[in-house]
Structure 1
């Protein structure tokens, strides 16, 4: 019976995290399912939970004249926050094209932009030529 509880509790915990975001209360919940095992059903999203993107807010950090992560995958229309930890002003601008542009982000500040509505791969750069990355929208 303990193995059955683990099989039920794990999907329930994954669903609770997906529905509740990243709150510490969701992470600290008990391993006991919230509803009886007989009413548990399979997740309605396609693919196993491990293949689904996190519900955490998308973020790119600028530090030491580099983007981290340099390659980020998001959903169409998702908000992405760019945080500048450097002592210089930076930008994050789609190139080629004009799909997104944060404008100048001063040291210690952040900017937020919306991912393009069309799926695809969007290279981006800073005014500092050595800084580049890729935003993938799927």
Structure 2
């Protein structure tokens, strides 16, 4: 008996791929549902993405005081806006100490124990200030003074 030729092996591989494709396709469509046909009259037309809604950028969006809560090694909110000289209160809801400190060290809190809070005054100069936790450098955010 002769060994199979390359063509016979390729045909077997194609047959196997076709069989797997059919069975996997059935499994996936059962899990994900079936996709509507492109030319189907019942398929809803795809609409271009609309504009994103964002918070107002005027004076109504800027507050004199903001509270940032720390939990699960995250600042909530991580990015926030406050008026020049506004008050920022940081509440540590985590199980370890944290800080909220400007990367350039122009503002920040001392270490805040679990369950405690600290307050600082936002810079008087308008702009974006990157900050982090000095103990956990992966914890980051941006304070915007506007």
Structure 1 and Structure 2 fold alike (TM over 0.5): yes
User: Higher Cα Rg: structure 1 or 2?
Assistant: 2
Alignment partner, residue 60 of structure 1:
68
Answer yes or no: is 1:102 the counterpart of 2:109. yes
Structure with the bigger percentage of strand = 2
Gaps of 5+ in 2: 1-55
Q: Deviations over 1:40-98 (max 9, x none)?
A: xxxxxxxxx99412657311000000000000001000001000000100001000x22
**Secondary structure of 1:123's aligned partner:** strand
Counterpart in the other structure of 1:13: none
> Does the residue aligned with 1:77 lie in a helix, a strand or coil?
strand
Once superposed, what is the RMSD of the aligned Cα atoms? 1.8
State how 1:18-37 maps to structure 2 within 5 Å.
Answer: none
Deviating above 2 A after TM superposition, structure 1's stretches of 4 or more consecutive aligned residues are 53-57
Relative to structure 1, is the Cα distance of residues 123 and 105 closer, same or farther in structure 2, using a 3 angstrom cutoff? same
1:123 aligned to 2:102?
Answer: no
How many residues matched? Answer: 89
- Indicate conservation of the 8 Å contact 2:130/2:141, yes or no: yes
**Could you say which residue in structure 2 is the equivalent of 1:26?**
none
Distance 2:129 2:64 in 1: 21
Aligned to 2:85, the other structure's residue is in SS state coil
Change (3 A) 1:78 1:85: same
TM-score normalised per structure 2: 0.57
* Contact 2:64/2:86 (8 A) holds in 1: no
Q: What secondary structure, in the 3-state scheme, does the structure 1 residue paired with 2:61 have? A: coil
Q: Normalized against structure 1, the TM-score is what?
A: 0.60
In structure 1, list runs of 5 or more residues that go unmatched. 1-48
In 1, are the aligned partners of 2:68 and 2:77 still within 8 Å (CA)? yes
